[in-house]
Amino acid sequence: MKKTLSLSVMALLAVSLVLPIVFATSVGSGIGVDVTTEDFPPQVWMCDNRIVADDNVQWGRITQGSDPIGGTMLERINNYAFEGEKIKWKVLVMDKNKIDQNIDVYATIGDVQGEGNDIEVNCQRVGGNRVEKSCNARILEEEVEWNPDLMDYFECTLTVETPESMYGEYWITVEAEDGDGLLGTMDENEYFFLNPEIRLSVDGDLTFEDVRPGTEAYSDTLLVGNDADDGSGVLMDMFISGTDFYDSSSSGARCPSTNQLALNGVGPNGVRHTGTAIGDDTGFRYFVTNGAYSSYDDLTVDTQTYDTGTFRAKDTEGYLDIQYGDHWDRTVYDEAEILQSPVKLGGVYYAGNILAPGAEMALTFKLDLPEPCNGDFDTGAIYFWGEAI
């Protein structure tokens, strides 16, 4: 075969010396192609489904727990949250490289704003079929159009953990990470104080010295304040209650018919008064001022659920009766507030009864001591309560 091929070539060359030859096949060369795909970082847009939900342990006047998570906690108007409460976002995530299962979307908290903070909860893919207007999804000036191969919706629910793992001020946001490790962050970073410590301060002593039976005596003015963590923004709804008082020594006390000084007064016949603002009622009352409001304007609303025996009332000086109670529960609403001002926040919370961090309200107490009365009554208590709203 090799020999035959060689002869054929020689013959061809010989002929070519006589006649010109035109080849019918093409000849050419090529260049290599080098295409680099842009490493497109994920884009994250928050849509209009962001809520803060209450826990299921203790809820406020409006919100009735968080299970199922249906609506926002209307009481909360500052950026703080407590154990068991939830922050929930719906986000649209886009990646021009791909939006398959390699993308990871999660909520993070940390000390700095932006990417790379601690991952607290992974988000759930919920699907979709259009770009919602509330997302305002844009890349520079380009409005993003729906493409299921490039984008999807996710829901993220961050539940506040115990103070041991979550206490203090944190930046909170939603981040997305693709298979190449590129990160994208929701623009709307939030700054929350998680599990702030709430405290009440009482400045002053409630002391009545050498009160003559059958007369009225006034205390020095006390300051009751919201002593929550600085910077927390915690608003406190304030309440007051009390107990009867007793003489801790064996002194033969009687006021007026037994060894007990009643919080809301007992008449000479031993029957307890019920706070109907009768001028000769005995016992303890208080006058309160907070900003533009005072107990002169108190609405005296009483649901008769926390203390069924005392009607909220005020005397001619504007001093209010104190509800019986040594505990706090939800029955105190519309009954045991320190001040029921005529203006309400959201139609529910008495504006004059709310204290911001560092704020104080001033209370002066009046004791109408029964007659006859004997003894030094030093055992018992008047309580101040504050609920973070």
Q: Give the pLDDT confidence of 257-270 residue by residue, as tens digits.
A: 889 999 987 544 44
Query: How does residue 7 score in pLDDT terms, banded at 50, 70 and 90?
Result: very low
Q: What is the mean pLDDT of residues 285-311?
A: 95
Does residue 300 register a pLDDT over 90? yes
Residues, the chain, total?
A: 389
Sorted by where each starts, the structural domains of the chain and their CATH numbers stand as 43-194 (2.60.40), 197-389 (no CATH)
The radius of gyration of the chain's CA atoms, rounded to the nearest angstrom, is 38
Interval 353-364: pLDDT, tens: 999 999 999 999
User: Which of residues 141 and 231 earns the better pLDDT score?
Assistant: 231
pLDDT tier for residue 67 given thresholds of 50, 70 and 90:
low
Confidence of residue 281 (pLDDT cuts 50, 70, 90): low
Give the integer Cα–Cα distance in Å for 255 and 46. Answer: 66
Residue with the bigger pLDDT between 62 and 70: it is: 62
Residue 168: count other Cβ atoms within 10 Å of its Cβ. 15
Does the pLDDT value for residue 141 go beyond 90?
no
Q: Is the pLDDT of residue 9 over 80?
A: no
- Reduce the secondary structure of the chain to three states and give it as a string: CHHHHHHHHHHHHHHHCCCCCCCCCCCCCCCCCCCCCCCCCCEEEECCCCEEECCCCCCCCCCCCCCCCCCCCCCCCCCEECCCCEEEEEEEEECCCCCCCCCEEEEEEECCCCCCCEEEEECEECCCCCCCHHHCCEECCEECCCCCCCEEEEEEEEECCCCCCCCEEEEEEEEEECCCCCEEECCCCEEEEECCCCCEEEECCCCCCCCCCCCEEECCCEEEEECCCCCCCCCEEEEEEECCEECCCCCCCECCCCCCECCCCECCCCCECCCCCCCCCCEEEEEEEECCEEHHHCCCCCCCCCCCCCCCCECCCCCEECCECCCCCHHHCCCCECCCCCCEECCCEEHHHEECCCCEEEEEEEEECCCCCECCCCECCEEEEEEEC
Q: Is the pLDDT of residue 3 over 70?
A: no
Q: How many CB atoms lie within 10 A of CB 134?
A: 14
**Residue 150 contacts residue 95 (beta carbons within 8 Å):** yes
Tell me the percentage of the chain whose pLDDT exceeds 70: 87
pLDDT number for residue 373: 92
Of 25-39, 76-90, 140-154, 313-327, the poorest mean pLDDT is in 25-39
Q: In this structure, which amino acid lies at residue 57? A: V
Asked if residue 338 has pLDDT above 70, the reply is yes
pTM of the predicted protein model? 0.81
341 versus 71: the higher-pLDDT residue is 341
More confident residue, 195 or 32: 195
Return the minimum-mean-pLDDT range out of 10-14, 173-177, 324-328, 335-339. 10-14
What is the arithmetic mean of pLDDT over 113-137? 93
pLDDT(305) > 80: yes
Is residue 273 a contact partner of residue 265, using CB atoms and an 8 Å limit? yes
Taking only the tens place, the pLDDT of each residue in 87-112 is: 999 999 999 877 777 789 999 999 99
Give the per-residue pLDDT at 13: 44
Task: Select the more confidently predicted residue: 78 or 282.
Answer: 78
Which residue from 47, 44, 120, 116 is spatially nearest to 81, judged by alpha carbons?
Answer: 120
Around Cβ 67, how many Cβ atoms within 10 Å? 11
Is the pLDDT assigned to residue 339 strictly greater than 80? Answer: yes
The reported pLDDT for the residue numbered 307 is 93
pLDDT at position 154 over 90: yes
Determine the Cα angle at 97 with ends 94 and 103, to 5°: 60
CA dist 191 → 29, 161, 233 (Å): 62, 16, 12
Write the pLDDT tens digit of every residue in 223-255.
999 999 999 999 999 999 999 999 988 878 899
Q: Does residue 140 have a pLDDT over 50?
A: yes
For the stretch 160-198, pLDDT in tens is: 999 999 999 999 999 999 888 889 999 999 999 999 999
Residue 271 has pLDDT above 70, yes or no: no
What average pLDDT does range 150-155 have in this prediction? 93
